[in-house]
Amino acid sequence: MNAQTPAALSPYSSSNGKASRTETHTLSVLVDNEPGVLARVVGLFSGRGYNIESLTVAEVAHAQQLSRITIVTTGTPETIEQISHQLERIVPIHKVTDLSLLGNAVERELAMIKVRGKGENRVEALRLAEAFRARVIDASLESFVFELTGAPKKIDDFVELMRPIGLVEVARTGVAAITRGPQGM
């Protein structure tokens, strides 16, 4: 969990009137794979004024028709706890796990980064890509598309280094996370 600067008070701040530090948490939500479930989850966030930093969803057990939603959100510890409890009350949700509280999660994200460049900028983009272990998945005489997988911070750092070289656009999948060790969710 990442601590950030003190946040302004929101309707969901702690009742003592003091601003708490906001934290970033990764929530893993096991749900029935049926129409409308994602809309209900997103509706909970929008209806209460919570922000979603990252959202991924995919089927994880075809025979049981289960999907896993991974949500990265920020808020005070009280707000994060409130979000978890409210998610647990949505009927097709089987389990909500705050991976940040467990402290042993592996988080990865995939990004495609398009960079324009000729001459020295082209050489520098390739050198940095090699240092970050980014793969070239498309190339032309004037641009590259790099594929980079890693922790969100690694992707942020790579994108910032590509800005002055000729960053054109970025597409990111959002965070996928899983706990370490033999236990499942």
- Domain assignment of residue 12, yes or no: yes
Of 68, 103, 138, the residue that ends a domain is 103
Cα–Cα nearest to 87, from 42, 23, 20, 56: 42
For the chain, how many helices (H) and strands (E)? Answer: 5, 10
Q: Which residue among 37, 71, 103 closes a domain?
A: 103
Per DSSP, the three-state class of 37 is: helix
φ, ψ at 36 (rounded to 5°): 90, -15
Are residues 12 and 94 part of one domain? yes
Q: 3-class DSSP state for residue 133?
A: coil
Residue 18: the pLDDT is 53
Helices 152-166, 119-132: axis angle to 10 degrees equals 170
Domain-terminating residue out of 81, 103, 125: 103
Let me know if residue 185 belongs to a domain.
Answer: no
Query: How do residues 137-149 score in pLDDT, each as one tens digit?
Result: 999 999 999 999 9
Region 163-179: mean pLDDT is 96
61 and 82 fall within a common domain: yes
**Token digits of residue 42:** 């997103």
Cβ atoms of 22 and 7 within 8 Å: the answer is yes
Domain extent, residue 45, equals: 2-103
DSSP states along 60-117: EETTTTEEEEEEEEEE-HHHHHHHHHHHHTSTTEEEEEEHHHH--EEEEEEEEEEEE-
Kindly report, residue by residue over 3-52, the tens digit of the pLDDT. 444 444 444 444 444 557 999 999 999 999 999 999 999 999 999 999 99
Residues 156 and 84 in one domain: no
Same-domain pairing of 90 and 11: yes
Strand, helix or coil at 9?
A: coil
Query: Distance (Å, rounded) from C-alpha 81 to C-alpha 77?
Result: 6
Tokens standing for residue 176: 């996928």
Average pLDDT (110-119) is: 96
Q: Any idea how long the chain is? A: 185
